[in-house]
Each structure stands twice: as C-alpha cells, then as structure tokens.
Structure 1
Amino acid sequence: MMKLQAVSNRKLYLQIADQIRDQITAGAAAPGKQLPSERDLAASLGVSRPTLREALIALEVAGLVEVRVGVGAFVRGPQSPGDGLPEQSHSPVEIMAVRRMLEPEAAALAAQSIAPEGLARLAEVLGHMQADADQDRWSSEWDRTLHLAIAEGAGNSMLREILDILWNSRSEEVDKRFHDHLATISEVRQQIMEDHRAIVAAIVQRDGEAARAAMAAHLDYVSAAMLNTWE
C-alpha cells in the first residue's frame, strides 16, 4: 500500500511561524530575548524576507513576540503552547500584489468617469487626511475611504466589488498589524500623503495616464516600505 502524506495548503508564512513558535515554546529563546535578524532567520529557514516578516507579524498577533520597528523581534512570555496563530488572515504581500495589478487602472478609469460629486468626495477625504497629517496622525479608515472612492469613481461595479474585498482583507489581523507598524514611521506617512495628493490631482485634471502612474508609484512605494523600512 502506498504511504502518502497529505499536501498542506496552509499559507507558507503560517508554516514558518509554526516553526519559530515551536522553538520559542521549547525554550530555545527566553522571554525578553531578541530573535536573530530577519536576514539570518530567512536564510536559516530557506524563505524570502517578506515571508519571514509575515510570519513574525503572525507571531506578534498571537502574542508570542513583540516587533519593534528599526530594532527587531523580541520574545514575549511566559507563553502557552496553545497560543493560536491568525489562521484566517491573507498574506499582506499577496494582497498588495493584487492591488498593484488593479488600482492603477481604477485610478485611470476614475479620471475619465468620476462624477462631480465623486470629485467633491475625494477632496473632502483628502482634507481629513491632511488634517490628520498636520497633527502627526494617521487614519487607516480615511486611507480605505479614499481608495474606495476612487474605485467607485471608476464606474465599474465589478472592479469596485473586487477592490472592496481586497480592502476588507486589509482589516485582517496580520495585514492591519503590518500597516500599523508602517504608520509609526513619520517619513512613510509623509510620502503616502504626498502620493495621495498626486493621485487626486491627476483625477481632478482628468488625466488618466497621470492618475495611473501616480497610483502605481504610490503602491510601489508602499510595497517597498513593507519590505525594506523595518530593521
């Protein structure tokens, strides 16, 4: 009789998080101890740094580690082997990859199709975001509202529904924690605000090519920040 093993369809970053959790609960890393660097952990596990970073965020959501931006990840404790990982969260890196495929085209369509009331809504939301920026604050809800207002302005209900699903995924535990860490970095907040102003300006000018380019540049920046602005 053939002896076969079931193929696991668990997300890779959760499988990696399992391995690190097992080491922590076995006592390989004591409470308060800093874990090895992302680069070293990724090399030891044979995975990319983005996947390793997602695993660390999953461990943080589970209460097993504390991630300190610019410093590293530290073991929290004492912990129980039963501490659960966020099994239902999508991969933040995969969510961003799909957004980069779709949102530049949504911005280009919005520049062509958005109604006057849609432009007024974009101006209103941008004003709220600027008021927060002036107070050195960041609201993920206004961020979501702006992007979905652009999707609404594109005039394609299916595209709007798909982007709504993506942004709902942004509110899941791992993705939310990922972006919460980014929002603690002042230079990232400032650049994102500048990007949003450029996107809205292109849409107001009815310049589809400029809107597409501005949205693509924005998402490229955030994607790079997710992967680079950390240690």
Structure 2
Amino acid sequence: MKPKRNNYWKAIKWVGGTAIIALIISLLSPSLIQSLDEEIRNQVLIQAIPFFSAFVAILMTYILIIVLLMIRFTGKVPHRIYQPVDRLITIGIIGGIVCLFQPFFFVAFRYGFQLLLLSTLLFIVWSHIVPRKAKADALLPAVSRMATVIGAVAAVAVFAALLLTTLEMNKPVEPYGIRQRLWNSYDDTQKAQIAEQKETEYNTEIVPFLVVLSLWPAALVIFQRAWGD
C-alpha cells in the first residue's frame, strides 16, 4: 500500500505541481506583459506566453489524470470489461470521423468533432491501463443479477439525461438560425413554411441522430457498472 501511495504522491508532486505553476503563469502573465515596454510587449513570443502556459496547464492536468488512473486500475480491470469498452471507444472515434465527413446531416457534423475529441481522449486514457490477463476472467464470479440491474438503470439514466438535454438544445425556435432582421421581413406564410421545414428536420433527422448518439455513453456506463469489479 505504501509504495502505491508514494507513486500517487510523486505524480501529484511533479506533474500536478507543473500544472499549477503553468496555471499561475497563465493567470499572472497578462498583467505582467502589460507592464513591459510596448516594443517588447508586441513580440510574438511574449504574447504567446499566456496561451502556451494555459495549454501546458491543461496538458499536464490531463497527463496527471492518466497517471493516477493508470496507478489505480492497472492490473485490476477484468479483460471482460476492458475489451468491450475499448471497442466502444473505437466505435466512437470512427463515428466521430464519419459524422465530420458525411454530407447529409448538419446535426451529425455539429456533434462529430465533440464525439471524436471525447473518444480520442478516452482512448488515450484507456490504452494506458493494462487489464488483467484474459485467463484471469475464468476465476471471476459470474455477473450478479443485481449488478446487471444497477448497470441497466445507470445506463438508462445517462441515456435519458443526455437525450433530453440535447433534444432541448436542438429544439427549433424562432428565428430558426436566420438573422432577426431578415426573419422580421418575412410574411406569415413564409414564416410558417420555414417553421414547418425546421420541425420536419427536427423530427426526422435530429431526433433519430441524438437517440443513437445518446446510446454510446449509455453503453459505456452499463459495462462499467454491470461488469466491473
């Protein structure tokens, strides 16, 4: 137990400390830069200090999360959960790429980058965790009915919460993405046609896509809750 605590402390001290220092620099550097001479202040490298230090802080925080999770879960995740989750994350990456390059639905393009980014970040984290050997799964007890129920309930809750949130965010409302001045110039017939078109698009394209999209994190949750230790 003590060596593991030492590993946690080393990661927090060095990686976390670097993140904190970079964050402090990013917060203080703008005011310090303003106190410099104009010629020095306008140099590209000087102007880049706040952005670069903030980027380093975010990157080191992400690395710290990876290291802590690696210390905590390496050798503890059963192969029967590791492999399905790995496949789901890969599906998320492929799905994000497809959404970005498909020319049919704008809503898929809108969420494609977010799906790709999240899946890629999860893949990097998950790939640093070494699971138990596949043979060790034979020694594990069968998944209990209670664990399966808990996993299913958690997955349904995540699915419902994400779906309802995204549906509300994408619900068509006036002026339907049109500039307000232009929308006000339309007569009632034109407004009704646009409203009907947007409602049809919402029901036939956006809602089905968001349903499918919400299934992905729900599937991750059900594996984590029902098949994890």
Larger radius of gyration: 2
Which structure's residues are more often helix, by fraction? 2
